[in-house]
Structure 1
Amino acid sequence: MLIIQKRIPNSRFYIQIIRRKAYVLFYLQVLFYFPAQAQNKNDLQHLENLYQSCLDKGEDMNGCARTYYLQMDSMLNVTYKKLRSTLNAEEQKQLKTEQLQWLQKRDKYFAENKKKINYSTGSNSPIPSDELMLMYDQHALFVQQRIYYMVNKLQKKENAQ
């Protein structure tokens, strides 16, 4: 006879479930909001305002920064696809090369940031929440610069037509 032990989850377990549900809802919002809207500087400002509002609450600031980074990353992907769709074959090839070079710079920058944090906290130590929040914030700003570049390129392309 198989005995199943009922496990009573602790509060951390419930918090993890709530966070996962929040992230799923966030991704659904991004998935349906960004493709339907033109990517422009107003969209970036809207995300910055949401991020600041989240930080102003003073609760789970690490989660705010992580969400903001994920929003920036998602918006970058959508903006890239939208820009790519407006280009001819040669321009698409050039954009892809440019994007691959940027991705290499991004990966190097992210690795350097993580290395700095590991150096300051000790490589085997868990990363303190404040350090992690700052890392996500720096990553989001790095990605945001690329989005601004692409949005400007997209707007120039649309204005030329």
Structure 2
Amino acid sequence: MNHPCHGRPCPRPVCARTTANPWKPVRTPARTPLRGMTSGPCATSPLAGHRTPAHVRLLAQQIAEVLVGRRAPEVLNRHVTVPVREELRRLRGSVSCAIAPRLSRVFHQPLGAAGVEASAVIGCDHRARAFAFRLRREGQRWICTRLETDHRR
């Protein structure tokens, strides 16, 4: 198979990097740390800052347990507002799941310095269910201020 540049130096930078092995994927700067960097923003893991924080994942797991009916909404009183607690009371047990709920995915998006928006997918039996929530920081605690589920009203 002939190279598209027919043996001449290719003007495209992608071809110049892949002439040795045209099937090798091109390194992307967003996910590839620079070699030899021991300090600075590139010295950390390429996914640093993208992992869901532990407090968001824990609250998502607790909300999932309420939705399945394995946890009482009152246990979350210190971490939810009154409207969210009432919504959890109304939705308790609305997700039918014969096994303990397992979060297959939790995504988060920062909302400024004092807020996070997150969504989670619950894997139950042979069906996946989803919910989303917003958190805001109050002192040292995170408080859930809004909750939405895929449950029909």
TM-score of Structure 1 vs Structure 2, range by shorter chain: under 0.3
| Structure of greater Rg | 2
Comparing both structures, which one devotes a greater share of its residues to helix? 1
Comparing both structures, which one devotes a greater share of its residues to strand? 2
Larger RCO: 1 or 2 (CA < 8 Å, sep 6+): 1
